[in-house]
Amino acid sequence: MKTAISIPEDLYAKAERFGRRVRKSRSRLYSEALAEYLARHAPDDVTATLDAVCADVNTEPDAFIRESARRTLERSEW
């Protein structure tokens, strides 16, 4: 998808210098920057993604972990 945007000249110059330094195209640099911005400002999306991952993972501790935890707690002074 192509788009046109307007940004301040000083920001453009900084982005150009940074892009050259990290050897990324302008399109890739701006795409990654926008993706990072959206990830930081849309925490509900991150939460939804983590919830989806957790739904696919067995979160029940196996017998070894359960028994180890029980023994550790029995030896701990409360």
**Residues 18, 26: Cα–Cα separation, whole Å:** 10
Q: Looking at per-residue confidence, does 46 or 63 come out higher?
A: 63
Integer-rounded Cα radius of gyration of the chain: 24
Q: Is the pLDDT of residue 78 over 90?
A: no
Residue 17 falls inside a structural domain: yes
The DSSP letter of residue 57 is: S
Residue 2 falls inside a structural domain: no
pLDDT at position 22: 97
Number of domains in the chain: 1
- How many other CB atoms sit within 10 Å of the CB of residue 19? 16
**Residues 78, 41: Cα–Cα separation, whole Å:** 42
Residue-number span of the structural domain to which 33 is assigned: 9-75
Identity of the residue numbered 72 = T
pLDDT at position 21: 97
Residue 51 falls inside a structural domain: yes
Residue 53 falls inside a structural domain: yes
pLDDT at position 44: 83
pTM above 0.85, yes or no: no
Residue 3 falls inside a structural domain: no
Residue 35 falls inside a structural domain: yes
Residue 1 falls inside a structural domain: no
pLDDT for 19-58, tens place per residue? 999 999 999 999 999 999 988 888 788 788 888 888 888 8
